[in-house]
Structure formats: structure tokens, C-alpha cells
Chains A and B, each alone.
Chain A
């Protein structure tokens, strides 16, 4: 089976812009979680979707949002970008929320 894929892999934006990142889970996986990874903070949980419903949300401002489609693909959106949003954004998929998560390669976002 193909692994988790994320697009784009790299992105450069300027402050104030918005960005949309995409995640395609492993075929058959219905749960998708998103994480922000920075050198100082490690892996911070953003949100988790299962069957098109957001089940959990981490401690991030409302500028961070997401959704999941009927084919389990997920997108996350960050509006009004700030310099501090520069990070590697990882998504992970699992069969169901209780099962092991498998990570995608990430999207590296640089905000100038």
C-alpha cells in the first residue's frame, strides 16, 4: 500500500497570507491527525478527524483549521500567517482513532 502523502512538500509564504496543506491517508485509513513540529517544541497536536468529524483539537489559535473529506483526505488551513508558524506540518493516518498512527513526509512551511 502507498504510504501517507502530503502536498506540497515545501512552501514559502509571507506574513498575513493564508495557506492550505493537504494530506492523503493510507488507503482504508479513516482517521487523520495533524501535528506541528518545531525544533524547540517537538510534536504538537493540532487536530484529529475521523469520518469527516473533528474529534479532538489541540491548543492552537482559531487561525488553524481543518477538514476531512468523504474519501478521508484531509486539509488544514492557516490564516493570517505569523513568523512563528514556520514549522514542519505532519499528518498521520490510522485505520481508526484507536489504531497506530503512520506519518506522512510533512510539509515544511516557511513564513517570511
Chain B
């Protein structure tokens, strides 16, 4: 069945450094890849997304890259700040059939001040 692997499960970085989280998906029909940030006790919030017709998308300090051939996509956070500390989830979805989201298992990011 469909599967999304996410690595690493935990990541600690010094404030100001960059953080990279990687996801690999199994369903080659997947064409939509959102990233969600979930702070402790709060709901997952969409932070950035990318569709399969684009290789990279950037929004201020956050960027996502997609390699469809290798079936993996990555989240890049630059100049990390303490408020970036949260759990990040990637997801893959196929938007012309089943549409359902398959989520990765999450990455707990800690930004050390």
C-alpha cells in the first residue's frame, strides 16, 4: 500500500542554523505534497506545499524541494529560530483519484537557543 517515510524522527539544531527534513513516498501517482507544523497541544498547520509540476518552492525561510524521479521531497528551514521548534509532518496525496493524504511519522525539531 501507499507509504511515506520521514527522516529524521528527531532533529536538534542551534539557533540560526539550517534544518532539513526528508520524505520518501511510494505511490508514483502522488502529485501533491504538503508540509504541516504541529506545536505542542495545537492543531497541525499547513506551512508550505508543492505540486508535482514544480521542483522547488520557497516562502521566506522555508523551502520545499521535490524529486519525482527519486520519489522524495524535503523541507528546508534556514536561519532557524526557537519558535520553529515543533513536530513537522510531510504528506503525499494523489489529486486525480483517491485524494487521501498519507502522512509521514513526523520529525520533532528542537531549535536550541
A residues contacting B by CB (< 8 A) are: 4, 33, 35, 41-45, 48, 55-56, 58, 90, 97-98, 100-106
Query: What is the chain B residue whose CB lies nearest that of A41?
Result: B105
* Chain A binding surface, main DSSP class: strand
Q: Are A42 and B103 in contact (CB under 8 A)?
A: yes
| B interface residues (Cβ-Cβ under 8 A, vs A) | 32, 34, 36, 42-46, 49, 89, 95-96, 98-106
User: By the criterion CB–CB under 8 Å, are A42 and B101 in contact?
Assistant: no
Question: Which 10 A-B pairs give the minimum distances between C-beta atoms?
Answer: A97-B99, A43-B103, A42-B105, A103-B43, A98-B95, A56-B100, A103-B44, A105-B43, A42-B106, A45-B100
Across-interface contacts of B105 in A (CB, < 8 A): 41-42
Provide the bound-state CA to CA distance between A96 and B104, in Å. Answer: 22
Report if A33-B101 is in contact (Cβ < 8 Å); known contacts: A43-B89, A98-B95, A105-B42.
Answer: yes
**Is the CB–CB distance between B98 and A56 below 8 Å?**
yes
Closest Cβ–Cβ distance, residue B89 to chain A (whole Å): 6
Specify the chain A residue showing the minimal Cβ separation from B89.
A43
**Complex Cα–Cα for A102 and B36 (A):** 10
Seed contacts A43-B103, A45-B101, A55-B98; 13 additional CB < 8 Å A-B pairs: A42-B105, A43-B44, A45-B100, A45-B102, A48-B99, A48-B100, A56-B98, A58-B100, A97-B99, A98-B99, A100-B49, A103-B44, A103-B45
